[in-house]
Homo-oligomer: A and B are copies of this chain.
Amino acid sequence: MDEGKFAPSASLALPPFHPSAFPPFSYIYLPMSIRLLILCCLLSAQSFAQISQDSAAFFIKDIYRQTYTEMQAYKWLTTLTKDIGNRLAGSENSLKAIHWAKATMDTLGFDSVWLQPVMVPHWERGDKEQVLMIAKDVGATQLKAFALGNSPGTGNNGVRAEVVEVQSIEDLRALPDNAVDGKIVFFNRAMDLGQLSTFSAYGGAADQRTTGPVAAAEKGAIAVVIRSLSTRQDDFPHTGMTQLSDEIENIPSLALSTNDAVVLSNALKKGKVELYIRTTCKMLEDNMSYNVIGEIKGKTNPDEIILIGGHFDSWDVGEGAHDDGSGCMHSMEVLYRLHKMGYQPKHTLRCVFFINEENGLRGGKAYADSAIINNEYHMAAIESDAGGFTPQSFGCSAGALASLDTTMAHMNDFMELLEPYDLELKAGGGGADIGPLKPKTGVMIGLRPDSSRYFDYHHSDADVLENVHPRELASGAAALTSLVFLLDQYGIGK
């Protein structure tokens, strides 16, 4: 395109600040410091009443301007990913990250910052996985694979057995009784990319990873490999949690890269194929970890909390940049930005980095347990855990303490202010970490970014800073900051 042909949208023109001939602030140039001073006076003068929609629109425009200009979430994410790296719950690196997060929040002017102790599982991957495919016409071929999280290892000697390919757990169960006895089951169903949301496509294929290994063990198999849950055809294996059984001996399970899943499937079309697999992963004793919590106390409604959070643990591959470094940096920026803009919230704002979402959800449960014991009412619990991509909407689900219909009708009124930013409310959403908090919550909200690229990177070595776009990440931070501001101003209509 060339200049001039993309006319600015009329809907981006905010209404005048005062209904006079005076042009809106957004159209006259004032240094940022003066703009902020004027705004703070206006917000402060109205601090015990709801501010006007015009003032709110002006404030949101400044949130976006400052977020895009400062790029704070991206700066923090750079430190987290490049200086610390990935951070599986229970690992030494996760503690390093937790202490960095607390130290960072300590500098941001919040009213309080604390660590909430949580015992977490401690699973270790051990040596680099070895997967060797042995087939008559192809010879021996190394396949790229990651052990699935929680999976037991093969032991030092590894295992070698024939492979049986199936497309689903149902297919596996329909096989004759001894069809996979002593064999390795290969779940090879691809994500259905014809679906609108890649999250739906993921949801439709994830059972192979979560419950496939136990189903295979019940049928007599000695190990499982799955096709990685990925939206790309490439060489990156994608790990993720597999569920263990208390009633049967759990078996080693791994994810192959999508390219190597094709290699294996093609070899199987020609005849018998064996895999040699060696993994040394193991589950150790639980150890101590922490949720990291920062808080700005509310002026008029301090006992009503607006929570914004993500999970701070990641898998032990890549850098956990999108999953969920982005969501945590989003959450920290919400409180940072509002504080920096001189905004004094009515409600208590709390930023929470939950630990151990990936393989246990212990952080989310511990936070909820504490909230229930201490009778802490959460007006809204918001989670960002779908990546640092351009946000499209906020997905809302019912908490136990408010009617979703009433809340969404009320929120839809103030969501008009976010129309210029291509944001809207949708029914359905939330987050794993805030799930246990439902009994103490009015409304549960999940940020929904564009999902096109999320599963290109998810749980793989490709989930690194380089695949996070600074402006897209900032758009999520600005969207969440604006939502928290609006919830604080206008409540949930309960």
Contacts and interface: CB of A to CB of B under 8 A. Distances in A.
B200 A8 contact: yes
9 contacts: A5-B430, A6-B203, A6-B446, A12-B196, A12-B197, A69-B194, A231-B471, A392-B392, A450-B450
B426 A9 contact: yes
A285 interface: no
Nearest to A327: B1
A249 B194 CA distance: 57
Interface string A90-106: 00000000000000000
B210 A8 contact: no
Interface stretch (A39-47, A60-68, A122-130): A60-68
A429 B194 contact: no
Contact of A428 (B4, B11, B393, B452): B11
A430 to B, nearest CB: 7
Contacts of A430: 5, 7
A200 B452 CA distance: 25
A72 interface: no
A241 B432 CA distance: 50
A6 B452 contact: no
A3 B427 contact: no
A4 B240 CA distance: 13
Nearest to A201: B68
Contacts of A10: 426-428
A374 B430 CA distance: 56
A357 interface: yes
A115 B144 CA distance: 50
A409 to B, nearest CB: 15
A414 interface: no
B194 A5 contact: no
A323 interface: yes
B68 A7 contact: no
Interface string A170-195: 00000000000000000000000111
Given A1-B323, A1-B357, A5-B435, 17 more contacts: A2-B357, A2-B432, A4-B206, A6-B395, A7-B430, A8-B197, A8-B200, A9-B427, A12-B196, A12-B200, A61-B196, A68-B193, A196-B421, A231-B471, A450-B472, A452-B472, A453-B469
Contact of A199 (B6, B197, B202, B472): B6
Interface size class of A (residues with CB under 8 A): 35 or more
Nearest to A357: B2
A108 B6 CA distance: 31
A428 B358 CA distance: 44
Given A428-B10, A450-B390, A4 B203 contact: yes
A422 B395 contact: no
A451 to B, nearest CB: 9
Contacts of A274: none
A431 interface: yes
A5 B240 CA distance: 14
Given A7-B430, A8-B200, A426-B9, A452 B64 contact: no
Contacts of A452: 390, 469, 471-472, 475
Nearest to A454: B1
A159 to B, nearest CB: 27
Contacts of A210: 3
Interface in A1-49: 1-12
Contacts of A240: 2-3
Contacts of A6: 199, 203, 386, 395, 429, 446
B69 A5 contact: no
Nearest to A324: B1
| Most chain B beta-carbon neighbours within 10 Å: one of A240, A358, A395, A435 | A395
A206 B3 contact: yes
Nearest to A359: B2
Contacts of A324: 1
